[in-house]
Amino acid sequence: MAEKIAVLLGGVSAEREISLKSGNVVLNTLRQLGINAHPVDTKYFPLLKIKNKGFNKAFIALHGIGGEDGTIQGMLEILNLPYTGSGVMASSISIDKLRTKQLWKGAGLVVSPYIFLTKNEYTTTTDINLFKQIKQFGLPLIVKPSTEGSSIGISKINNLNMLKAAIDLAFYYSDTLLIEKWLYGPEYTVTVLNGVALPAICILPSGNFYDYNSKYKSNNTQYLCPSGLKKELEFELSDIAIKAYNVIGCRGCARVDIIQDKNKQFYLLEINTSPGMTKKSLAPMAAAKAGFSFSELIMRILELAI
């Protein structure tokens, strides 16, 4: 029986619009390859009925909560429907930046220094206590929701007068947040496909840091692939990304974000188990440098579905 592929897209997270773009590009690519693929927007379609429509495999192009946090993956497991990307455990861990960092630290990997804060703690803790905690980091700082992607709700803090507004913004998207030390140096991203690192990309954002505008709106952000690193540092970076991928228990395609400080030390930032899949996204850019086309990347990801 010929495969009928459900491309899961849209969803209900703050990254819905990005997911729609990724999903539609994946859908069109699969159809151009002669594959019987159909869009399934999980915001409107009850996923429990997906097998009733004759689908026998799912390509997950969802981002954020309700898409790459293990909930969709768990439902597909119950339905015994093969799907792309990481499983329930890796998905649920990776969406949580705190748990991800804790696992990496436990495995001996280096992560960016951070303070974890819950909404409840913030309402019961004075600003003075918080200022004491962050004083060791110095300024600037980065404040980010701990369960969002695509740099949604993230702020760079250049003085402490900006802190409350940044915290309020992060708490709008999540009940927990991270306050991270600002690391001066280039940011890199490494796509790992089935345990193999693709060429690293160096990100040169158009603004002060790689925020939502730099990612999705600006035409001035630059992406260097090859990264410009010396060969031994490129190997080190790839090794860190593969270890990070394996510690979380990922499978399929994932993207690891890493920053290098002024002392050439690499720090893990986060991992994305459902990276963007438009033709301008970073995973396809790395795949192209590795020698295979966008359609070949999509097919590889699909073939890894279990």
* Active-site annotation, residues: 15, 150, 281
Separation of alpha carbons 242 and 191, rounded Å: 9
Query: Is 270 one of the annotated binding-site residues?
Result: yes
Query: Is 232 one of the annotated binding-site residues?
Result: no
Sequence-distant (≥ 6) Cβ neighbours of residue 102 within 8 angstroms? none
Concatenated DSSP letters for 189-253?
A: EEEEETTEEPPPEEEE-SSSS--HIIIII-S--EEESS----HHHHHHHHHHHHHHHHHHT--SE
Query: Is 24 one of the annotated binding-site residues?
Result: no
Burial 70-86 (b: 16+ CB within 10 A, else e): bbbbebbeebebebbbb
Annotated binding site: 257, 270, 272
Annotated binding site for Mg(2+): 257, 270, 272
